Structure formats: structure tokens, C-alpha cells
Amino acid sequence: MHLIALEEHYAWNPASDGNVVATWLESNNRTGFDRLYDRGPLRLEQMDAAGIDFQILSLFDPGVQEYDDAALAVDHARRANDNLAETVRQYPDRFGGFATLATQDPDAAVVELRRAVDDLGLMGALINGHTHGRYLDDPAYGPLFATAEALGVPIYLHPTTPHPAVMDAWFAPYVDQGLHLASWGFAVEAGTHALRLIYSGLFDRYPNLQMILGHLGEMLPFKAFRTDRYYGLGGSGGSGGLLQKRPSEYLRNNFYFTTSGNFSPPAMACTLEVMGADRVMFSVDYPMDDNVDGANFLATYPMDDADRRKVGYENAVRLFGSRIPGFGARA
């Protein structure tokens, strides 16, 4: 069976220079560090070992979004996307790419998304959560989502470190234990961000917009029943007004969830039950997670082969179409 993996990261300097995780890997796990920076033979060897046909690459969190200097972020985003496009041109049958966007400047992000897709052949964009506490439900990002919808490309909403106020209120005593990161805080941050987009009415305004969440939906499938049941409790629906549909309907119509780094059978069962097999896609979260582990999880999860093919590659082919060059012929 073919496999297309969507949340697969790489590091690129100067944007990744000084990154906390990359710095730790360099000192404590040189193999992991080498994998993070490699976009060639080592990565392809790891893909082949797991039977992964195609990776969509994205710049490692937080990319350029941590910069205080918006102009520098815009410049580095453009350079990073040019660099990624060169990798894709070198290995067009194995790699695609999600654009990096300098969300410090929403107007520049629109221009760069269009350039990355139309001129560079990238497949959408990956955004690492909030930018200095500014979330994507800010009306200034409306043109960015309108552009993504018009181009027919998805936005992958990836977690980042929670908002500084949340860090202080919730996580500060337990930073040394990593509560604010992948074990819990990342999912809270990304899941809440996605709900903010839904509650803002974004998908009523842009009904064909498609977004992607990793880690089997950042806990949203587990809470979908209560999210629907208590939507609107406590007010009139907030600044966005009341929605046209239940929140979970936007999840099923406007989101795909990937398996990245969450190789848990109970979590997979919940996600499939809530979303359906047409809305779940394979990912690994390489190199933080292992390609073979991710592929084995999908291969051994108890599901019928038709649904396994949907998750493994068919849903990705349907979403990205010809942007995955030649894959339809091989599928």
C-alpha cells in the first residue's frame, strides 16, 4: 500500500538557528539532529525503510513566527520557501512542501502564499499557532484564508508554545516536566485555536476552505459531543455571532486530521468515529517520531483495507490532486 506523509519537518538556518529542540538534539541525540536537517539521502533512506512514498515537508516550529522584526520574518520566509522549492525540484516524486508564512505581517503572508503556490509549486502552508499572542481569527487574516480557498490549497495548523498568559497561569510550575509542550500544552493550544476559527464564523465566510490538524485532531474528537451540546452556552455566540451549523460539522466539512505522532488505537478509534475515514490522513511527525513506527501503526490498526487506503494515501491524493506529481498514476 502507498503512503503519503503530511506533517514531516525539517530545519533550515537561519530560521532554525538557536531552536530549543534542535539545540537539545545537537547535544543529546546527534542522529535526530542529522535527520532534522537532512532533506536528501538520509531522509529518503528512512522513508524507504517504512514504505513511505511521499513526504510533504514543513519548516520546524516555530519557523519565522518567533521573530520580533516583521520585515526580517518576511525576508526569511521568502528565502525558506525558495530553498524548500529547490529540494522539491531535486526530488519531485518524493517531496512536496508547505510554505512558511510570516504571519507577523498578514498582507505579506497573502502575497507569499500566492507566490509559493503559483510560482514555486508548493502545496499550501503550515502555520505554527499564534504569532506573539495573535491568533488567526483576527480579521486581518481574512484575506489569507480567502486566498487559500481561492487557490484550492489547505492550511495546516500546527501547535506552538501556548500564549504567554496561558504559560504563566497554567504551565509555569511544570515547564521542567514539559507539560506545556507535546504531552499536553500543544494539543490544548492547537485545539483551542481551531475552535476559535470555527466560532469566529470563518468557515461560514469561506465554506470551501480546508485546514489540517495533526495528532489525531488535538483532542477535538474526544470533545466533539460536548462542544456541540454546549455551543452558545453563556452568551449569544460571541463576536462572530451564531454559527450556521454545529461546531462538529465544520470539523467534518473543513478539516482533515492526521495521525502524526499519535499512534494510539483508542485515539484513532475515536477520531474515525467522529470524523469518518474520509477525513483522516497518515502522518508521522518525522523526525520527532519514527517512520517505521508510524507505518506499522497504520498497517496493524484493525480497519478494513478500503479505509486503510483512504487514510494511507487516497484522501491526500483527493485533497492535493495533481500537486502530488505522478502519484495518481502510481496509485
Q: Which of 285, 290, 293, 305 is catalytic?
A: 285
Q: Which three cell numbers stand for residue 222?
A: 474526544
Q: Answer positive or negative: Cα dihedral of 154, 158, 162, 164.
A: negative
Q: How many secondary structure helices (H) and strands (E) does the chain include?
A: 16, 8
H/E run at residue 280: strand 280-281
**Rounded distance, CA 83 to CA 78, Å?**
9
Distances (CA, A) of 290 to 46, 174, 230, 284, 286: 9, 27, 38, 7, 6
Q: Look up cell 504567554; give the residue.
A: 164
End-to-end CA distance of the chain: 9
Q: Which three cell numbers stand for residue 290?
A: 519514527
Q: Which three cell numbers stand for residue 2?
A: 502507498
Q: Look up cell 505522478; give the residue.
A: 326
Asked if residues 278 and 272 have their Cβ atoms less than 8 Å apart, the reply is no
Which of 102, 3, 20 lies closest to 56, judged by CA?
3
Asked if residues 220 and 195 have their Cβ atoms less than 8 Å apart, the reply is yes
Angle at 310 between CA 304 and CA 209, to 5 degrees: 145
Distances (CA, A) of 267 to 3, 242, 295, 324: 20, 30, 16, 28
Distances (CA, A) of 10 to 21, 33, 97, 102, 177: 12, 10, 11, 17, 25
Judge whether 107 counts as a catalytic residue. Answer: no
Strand partners, 58: 9
Q: Look up cell 517504512; give the residue.
A: 50
Task: Indicate which residues carry an active-site annotation.
Answer: 285
